[in-house]
Amino acid sequence: MKIYVRKKKPKLYGLLIFSIVFVIAVAILYAISQSTRFNAVPYITVSMPLYFAAVLVILVISLKRQIEYNPYSYNTIYYFGFSLFVLSVLVTHIAAAIRYFMNAEEYGFRDTARIVLYSARQYMIVTLPLLAVFSIGLLVSNIVLIKKEGKSLTNTLGILLAVALMAGGGVLIWLGSIASGPFSIVINLLCAIFVYAECMLFGAIFADVLAATHVPSFDKDYILILGCKVAKNGEPMPILQKRIDRAIAFYDEQVSRTGKAPVFIPSGGKGADEPLSEAECMRNYLIAKGFTDEQIIMEDESKNTLQNMRFSFKKVPEEAKCAFSTSGYHVFRSGIAANRAQKFKAEGVGAPSRWYFWPNASVREFIGLLTGHRGKQLLVLFGLIAAYLLLSFLAG
């Protein structure tokens, strides 16, 4: 799928208005049924799957448009993650509608409210096998990582997440099956928060894979190479070497296809434990590969990814077309940093990593994404609390 081909960012104002109108309509039908003999249940029961089908279509279309507008966005995560959840709720409501028409006398309005109220726990049950496979993969890769790279807090993040997913999910599903009264409200709310994190996780995996496998258009003026740790002998560590090699591979393919030779921008300052700057290390490597100083612009002041982008983009014309090379697991977050730095429409290429390194590194990226927009996370959590309190009241 092509990116940066759409000028307008997709908005969900239409979905918000549609949802408000739908809720008002359901409330009116329920009020009428309470004050008259009119039976609103069949209309509400049929309208629920139709509503969630419409929401799913809107989310999928918005996801496609977001990728075409800018794939390096939190919206890519939200649209994909919540599309999966809405699909699950849609299937549940279709089953409920079938069950209603098969036995209408035992089905009421509160049953519809309960389906929505318990939808998070239902989603957890459905996705538990998928989470189990994912968690086992994390455990295996982390054990191998620790054996090869040594013990450290960052090297155990995958294990911690795997345990949290399986233990947290299992305990909440079990508590939901035995909870009653006010305690069930708390459990349903915790399930909703867990599912929110789960949707973010699935969305982040999708966004990471999409970004890492994307091949930029071969019309670039510059190729930015994001730095990382330099060995004590001044040579690039394996991860950094793969980033440089991936940039060279893109350079070679663009030249062979179009004849246009982009300029390299190795980016990265000197850490306290490094013998020289990451940029100089990369420059030396490029020179050894046959490139000249005229084909290289060094940026040796940056200390993090955002500074990589910001300081590097100051060295190129405003209208320049840029690509950036980094590790595959890091492309998505780097793209977000590129947009924050100077609203550049830069495209990333992903360098390969060792199979056991990628999962744990992706976990670090995921945690970084979760903490990157704290205000948005808090807004969603407060919205979940309000929605589940209302649903609990309606479900009786």
CA torsion sign, 378 to 381 to 383 to 386?
negative
Q: Are residues 309 and 229 in the same domain?
A: yes
- pLDDT of 107 reads 66
What six digits make up the tokens of 162?
């795997």
CB-based contact 217:345 (threshold 8 Å): no
d(CA 168, CA 188): 13
Q: Are residues 373 and 328 in the same domain?
A: no
- pLDDT of 224 reads 97
- In a domain? residue 28: yes
Q: Are residues 228 and 344 in the same domain?
A: yes
Each residue of 358-384: b (16+ CB within 10 Å) or e?
Answer: bbbbbbebbeebeeeeeeeeeebeeeb
Percent of all residues in the chain with a pLDDT value above 90, rounded to a whole number:
46
Higher pLDDT, 283 or 45: 283
- pLDDT of 394 reads 65
96 — pLDDT class (breaks 50, 70, 90): confident
- pLDDT of 362 reads 78
Looking at the 3D structure of the chain, how many domains does it have? 3
pLDDT tens for each residue of 243-272: 999 999 999 999 999 999 999 999 999 988
- pLDDT of 79 reads 94
d(CA 334, CA 230): 19
77 — pLDDT class (breaks 50, 70, 90): very high
Q: Are residues 193 and 154 in the same domain?
A: yes
> Which one of 90, 117, 144 terminates a domain?
117
Residue 10 has pLDDT above 70, yes or no: yes
- pLDDT of 343 reads 64
d(CA 260, CA 263): 10
292 — pLDDT class (breaks 50, 70, 90): very high
- In a domain? residue 126: yes
- In a domain? residue 146: yes
Percent of all residues in the chain with a pLDDT value above 70, rounded to a whole number:
96
Residue 380 has pLDDT above 80, yes or no: no
Q: Distance between terminal CA atoms of the chain?
A: 47
Q: Are residues 32 and 44 in the same domain?
A: yes
- In a domain? residue 8: yes
- pLDDT of 29 reads 87
d(CA 41, CA 35): 14
What six digits make up the tokens of 385?
């609390």
Residue 35 has pLDDT above 80, yes or no: yes
pLDDT tens for each residue of 117-153: 788 888 999 999 988 998 998 899 889 888 888 887 7
Q: Are residues 113 and 176 in the same domain?
A: no
Residue 180 has pLDDT above 70, yes or no: yes
> Which one of 117, 137, 171 terminates a domain?
117
Task: Confirm whether pTM is higher than 0.75.
Answer: yes
Q: Are residues 32 and 93 in the same domain?
A: yes
> Which one of 117, 136, 152 terminates a domain?
117
- In a domain? residue 290: yes
108 — pLDDT class (breaks 50, 70, 90): low
CB-based contact 242:327 (threshold 8 Å): yes
Cα 53 versus chain centre, distance = 23
- pLDDT of 244 reads 97
- In a domain? residue 216: no
- In a domain? residue 217: no
d(CA 251, CA 184): 58
If you average pLDDT over residues 180-188, what whole number do you get?
A: 79
d(CA 17, CA 305): 38
- pLDDT of 119 reads 86
If you average pLDDT over residues 164-182, what whole number do you get?
A: 86
- pLDDT of 100 reads 78
Q: Tokens 């189990």 identify what position?
A: 132
- Residues with Cβ within 8 Å of 301's Cβ and at least 6 positions away in sequence, in order, are 269, 307, 311
- pLDDT of 395 reads 62
Residue 51 has pLDDT above 90, yes or no: yes
If you average pLDDT over residues 189-204, what whole number do you get?
A: 88
d(CA 376, CA 113): 27
Residue 369 has pLDDT above 80, yes or no: no
Q: Are residues 87 and 171 in the same domain?
A: no
Higher pLDDT, 248 or 157: 248
- Report the chain's mean pLDDT, rounded to a whole number: 88
Q: Determine the structural domain holding residue 53 and report its residue range.
A: 1-117
If you average pLDDT over residues 371-393, what whole number do you get?
A: 74
Higher pLDDT, 23 or 219: 219
* Torsions phi, psi for 347 (to 5 deg): -115, 140
What six digits make up the tokens of 85?
């959840």
d(CA 229, CA 324): 17
Q: Are residues 234 and 345 in the same domain?
A: yes
Q: Are residues 184 and 294 in the same domain?
A: no
If you average pLDDT over residues 185-214, what whole number do you get?
A: 89
396 — pLDDT class (breaks 50, 70, 90): low
- Residues with Cβ within 8 Å of 344's Cβ and at least 6 positions away in sequence, in order, are 309, 313, 322, 338
222-236, 265-279, 344-358: the lowest-pLDDT one: 344-358
- pLDDT of 83 reads 95
